[in-house]
Amino acid sequence: MKVFDRQGAKVRLDDISAEPPKGMTREKAEARFATLGQELFDLQDAMFGAKVNSVMVVLQGRDSAGKDGAIKHVVGCLNPRGVIVTSFGVPTPEEREHDFLWRVHRHAPRLGEFSIFNRSHYEDVLVVRVHDLAPKAVWKERYGHIRDFEELLAEHGTIILKYFLHITKKEQEERLLEREESPETAWKLNPTDWKERDHWDEYTQAYEDAISKTAAKHAPWTVVPANAKWYRNLVIAESIVEALRKRRKDWESTLEKMGREGREELAAYRAQAAAAKGAKRKGK
C-alpha cells in the first residue's frame, strides 16, 4: 500500500506491489476487517449525529480491479441511512451539456453522510485522455479544476479519500477469463474490458499523472494492492477508519454540546409549562 498526499509526488505504479505483504494471511485480514467494521459503524454514527463532516470515497481502478466488491464490503459495515453509492458511466446527453464536474458535485455528500463513488470525475482525465474523447488542451486543465473542486469540498468539511485498486495485468486476465466460465459472474462479461486491456500502458500513465497531480493532504490517494480481494478490503477499511478516528473527539464534543443545549431547552420548556399550569390553577 502506498499513500500519496502531496501534489507532484512521483508515482510509479509498476514499483508498487499488488500483492498482500509477507506474513499477511486471509484469516488475519478477515478477523481485522470484522473488528474495523464495528469501529467504522460507530464512527459513522458519531459523524451522522454531529453533522460537521462528511466522507467522499472515490474508487478507481481498471476493469475487474474490484470496485464493486470493495463497495459491497465497505458499505456492508455502514448504516444504510447515511450512505449513498453512485456509479459514473458514460455521460448522458444531459450531463454532456454541463461541465464535467456538474454530475459529480450533485452527488457530493451532505454533512453527516457518506458518498461512495464507483468511478468518478477522474474518468475525465483517464478514459477521456486515453481515448482522445476531448482535446489535450481540455483534459489538461481538468487537474486544476479537480484540485479546486476537492479543496472546496474539504473546506465544507468533506473528508476525501481516493483509492486506486491496483491489480496486475495477469490478475486481470484471470478475472476476465473467469467471468466467461462462471454463471455467477457471466453478467459482468463485457468485450470492452478486453479492448481496454490493450491500452494498459496508456492507462498506467494516465493514472500516475492523475494521482500525482491531484494528491493533497485533504484528498490523499491510496494505491491499494488489490490482487487479493480480502487484503484490498482490509486496506480500504483501515484507511477510512484511520481518517475518521482523527475526528472522533470533535464529533463527541459536538454531540455533548448538542445534548447539553437540548437538555437546557427541554428544562426551559418544562419550567415554562409548569409556570403556565400554576398560573392557570391560580386563575380558577
Report d(CA 161, CA 237) in Å as an integer. Answer: 11
The conformation of residue 215, written as its DSSP 8-state character, comes to: -
**What is the total count of residues that contact ligand ATP (CB under 6 A)?**
16
Least separation in angstroms between CB 204 and ligand ATP: 15
Q: Name the residue nearer to ligand ATP (CB basis): 174 or 264.
A: 174
Rule CB under 6 A: choose which of 73, 74, 115, 124 binds ligand ATP. Answer: 124
Nearest alpha carbon to residue 62 among 198, 220, 240? 198
Q: Name the residue nearer to ligand ATP (CB basis): 28 or 119.
A: 119
Nearest alpha carbon to residue 227 among 175, 180, 178? 175
Least separation in angstroms between CB 203 and ligand ATP: 10
HSE at residue 204, side-chain half, CA atoms within 13 A, is 14
Q: Name the residue nearer to ligand ATP (CB basis): 112 or 171.
A: 171
Q: Does 127 bind ligand ATP (CB under 6 A)?
A: yes
Q: Does 113 bind ligand ATP (CB under 6 A)?
A: no
Q: Given the DSSP bridges, would you call strands 221-225 and 2-4 parallel, antiparallel or unpaired? A: antiparallel
Nearest alpha carbon to residue 220 among 209, 228, 229, 211? 211
Which range touches ligand ATP (CB under 6 A), out of 119-127, 163-171, 231-239, 268-276?
Answer: 119-127
Q: What are phi and psi of 217, to 5 degrees?
A: -55, -45
Least separation in angstroms between CB 152 and ligand ATP: 20
Strand order in the sheet with 2-4: 2-4, 221-225, 158-166, 54-61, 114-118, 83-87
Question: CB atoms < 10 A from the CB of 44, how many?
Answer: 22
Rule CB under 6 A: choose which of 123, 150, 171, 208 binds ligand ATP. Answer: 123
Which range touches ligand ATP (CB under 6 A), out of 27-35, 87-95, 142-150, 214-222?
Answer: 87-95
Q: Does 88 bind ligand ATP (CB under 6 A)?
A: yes
Rule CB under 6 A: choose which of 8, 21, 23, 89 binds ligand ATP. Answer: 89
Q: Does 224 bind ligand ATP (CB under 6 A)?
A: no
**What cell does 99 get?**
461541465
Q: Name the residue nearer to ligand ATP (CB basis): 38 or 87.
A: 87
Report d(CA 83, CA 76) in Å as an integer. Answer: 10
Q: Name the residue nearer to ligand ATP (CB basis): 112 or 208.
A: 208
**Contact set with ligand ATP (CB under 6 A):** 63, 67-68, 87-91, 118-119, 123-124, 127-128, 133, 190
